[in-house]
């Protein structure tokens, strides 16, 4: 599929930044979103000799400018990648901070997905919307509870909207990365850096996996194989009490 215009949210860091580089290397014109305006401008300058780049710097809690661009320009590749979490028991954070996770990780990608699909339908264009979930959307995630719930929401609506929109030439795919080395964990722990246990993936690998999924139009993709196996074992074989205990300890090791 040859894309005419791609939007990547959260392109100013981590997986989104790697995705922006990968799409630019394929000469796909870009709309890059994030909050860090300086970083977005630096990326646009880096790609200037290859592709046209529009930048939109806005928090997803105030996304009207982004939605307006989507309605007007109907990008035929939309990657809802922006997201974040907080580590620790949800009850220990201000309620409004936990509600914001649901807003940024859940409500925003849903609204962007619906508006992007409607814009494509109006212009009688086909397209792909890929939403970035997480393996933590597949099983209990105490210690990052609202994040896990928001990612389960993203996975659920993506699978259902894909069924509804596929006959119109619009696919809604969902990607579930395992642990990727980005700023996410340190931001969640409010620390300079955190040490994470288990297999670690690079943002470049994550971007390649997402591109592979787009090319194959695979509805759901967990990466890599170790996380595919881990997710299967966790959801089908292990008792829920044990999974909760292990995940809580796993997250706790990053809080200390």
- Active site positions, annotated: 147
* Shorter beta-carbon distance to ligand NAP: residue 29 or 109: 109
**Of the ranges 12-20, 116-124, 158-166, 248-256, which one interacts with ligand NAP (CB under 6 A)?**
12-20
**101 is a site residue for ligand NAP (CB under 6 A):** no
- As a whole number of angstroms, the distance between CA 56 and CA 66 comes to 7
Instruction: Compute the least distance from the CB of residue 112 to ligand NAP, in Å.
Output: 11
* Shorter beta-carbon distance to ligand NAP: residue 74 or 184: 184
**59 is a site residue for ligand NAP (CB under 6 A):** yes
**74 is a site residue for ligand NAP (CB under 6 A):** no
Instruction: Compute the least distance from the CB of residue 59 to ligand NAP, in Å.
Output: 4
**44 is a site residue for ligand NAP (CB under 6 A):** no
**141 is a site residue for ligand NAP (CB under 6 A):** no
**Of the ranges 78-86, 110-118, 215-223, 243-251, which one interacts with ligand NAP (CB under 6 A)?**
78-86
Instruction: Compute the least distance from the CB of residue 56 to ligand NAP, in Å.
Output: 10
**19 is a site residue for ligand NAP (CB under 6 A):** no
**14 is a site residue for ligand NAP (CB under 6 A):** yes
Give the tokens for residue 228.
């595919």
Q: Which residues here bind ligand NAP, judged by CB under 6 A?
A: 10, 12-16, 34-36, 59-61, 81-84, 104, 132, 134, 177, 179-180, 182-184, 187
């Amino acid at each position: 599929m040859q894309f005419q215009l791609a939007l990547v949210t959260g392109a100013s860091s981590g997986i989104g930044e790697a995705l922006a580089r990968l799409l630019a290397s394929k000469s796909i014109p870009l709309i890059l979103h994030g909050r860090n305006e300086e970083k977005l401008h630096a990326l646009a300058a880096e790609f200037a000799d290859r592709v046209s780049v529009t930048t939109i710097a806005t928090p997803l809690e105030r996304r009207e400018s982004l939605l307006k661009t989507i309605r007007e320009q109907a990008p035929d590749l939309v990657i809802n990648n922006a997201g974040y979490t907080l580590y620790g028991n949800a009850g220990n954070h201000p309620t409004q901070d936990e509600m914001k996770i649901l807003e940024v990780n859940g409500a925003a990608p849903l609204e962007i997905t619906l508006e992007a699909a409607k814009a494509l339908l109006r212009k009688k264009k086909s397209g792909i919307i890929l939403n970035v979930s997480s393996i933590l959307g597949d099983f209990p995630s105490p210690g990052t509870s609202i994040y896990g719930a928001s990612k389960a929401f993203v996975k659920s609506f993506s699978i259902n909207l894909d069924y509804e929109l596929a006959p119109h030439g619009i696919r809604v795919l969902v990607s579930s990365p395992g642990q990727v080395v980005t700023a996410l964990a340190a931001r969640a722990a409010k620390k300079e850096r955190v040490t994470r246990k288990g297999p670690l993936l690079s943002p470049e690998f994550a971007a390649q996996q997402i591109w592979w999924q787009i090319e194959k139009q695979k509805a759901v993709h967990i990466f890599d194989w170790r996380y595919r196996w881990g997710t299967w074992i966790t959801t089908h074989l292990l008792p829920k009490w044990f999974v909760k205990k292990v995940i809580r300890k796993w997250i706790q090791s990053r809080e200390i």
